[in-house]
Structure 1
Amino acid sequence: MRKPVIVIAGALALLIACASPFVRAVDDNHSAAQLRNLVRQDCGSCHGLTLQGGLGPSLRPQPMQALGVDAIRLIIADGKPDTAMPPWRDLLTEQDIRQIAQGLLSGAYISDNHSTQESP
């Protein structure tokens, strides 16, 4: 049962590594819109398109509050060993990672109006 998850994680990591030259913005920092798209599309592919959870856990504000910005930042940067969560350190700047962590805590990636309300 764990083998398909490991294969999927490996394929995802390879895809990310191959795409890395195309992910970086020219100035090496991503705009808010680019980060929003990254979270909704790339993170949403495992954490659910509404970030309520899927293969990975929920990224909604309430569960994120238990972690705090620094723990979230480290998970984004370094990934989580033995899970499908890849490290993003080679693809994003520290500023990008911090902005994503803060956005997850605030609920900025949930809806177009940046609501922090939890959906049922």
Structure 2
Amino acid sequence: MLLWGNAHAAPPDAAREQALVRMVRQDCGSCHGMRLTGGLGPALTREALADVPLESLAAVIFHGRPGTPMPPWRAMLSEPEARWIAQRLLQGFPEEMVKAP
């Protein structure tokens, strides 16, 4: 489990938030479905995660699930970023922001 010693660290800035949204939509979406409604992995919709505690979801994102296809993302994310993603999933994950030309 995560210790969250720095759970109160500053949230990601706007540019990092965009990168995290893109990562979830593309990388996580490759298993959980591009709309996060399920695929190889379970759905990551607000409804599907309604009974999942925030800390548990963040821990799965950060550490993965040994013995399953769910990899740990700790090489690409900090603990506060994993928590930020978990919070957004529980609220209903935002759409990827497309930059205007």
User: TM-score, structure 1 length as denominator?
Assistant: 0.65
Counterpart residue number, 1:71: 56
Counterpart residue number, 2:65: 80
Q: Specify every segment of 5 or more residues in structure 2 that has no aligned partner in the other structure, as ranges.
A: 1-11
Work out the number of aligned pairs and report it.
84
Q: CA deviation at 1:108?
A: 2.6
Corresponding residue to 1:46 among 27, 31, 34: 31
Q: Larger RCO: Structure 1 or Structure 2 (Cα < 8 Å, ≥ 6 residues apart)?
A: 2
User: TM-score, structure 2 length as denominator?
Assistant: 0.76
Sequence identity percentage = 43
Higher alpha-carbon Rg = 1
Q: Specify every segment of 5 or more residues in structure 1 that has no aligned partner in the other structure, as ranges.
A: 1-28, 114-120
Q: C-alpha distance in 1, partners of 2:39/2:61? A: 17
Q: What do you get for the CA RMSD once the two structures are aligned? A: 1.8
Q: C-alpha distance in 1, partners of 2:37/2:66? A: 22
Range with greater deviation from structure 2 (47-56 or 65-74): 65-74
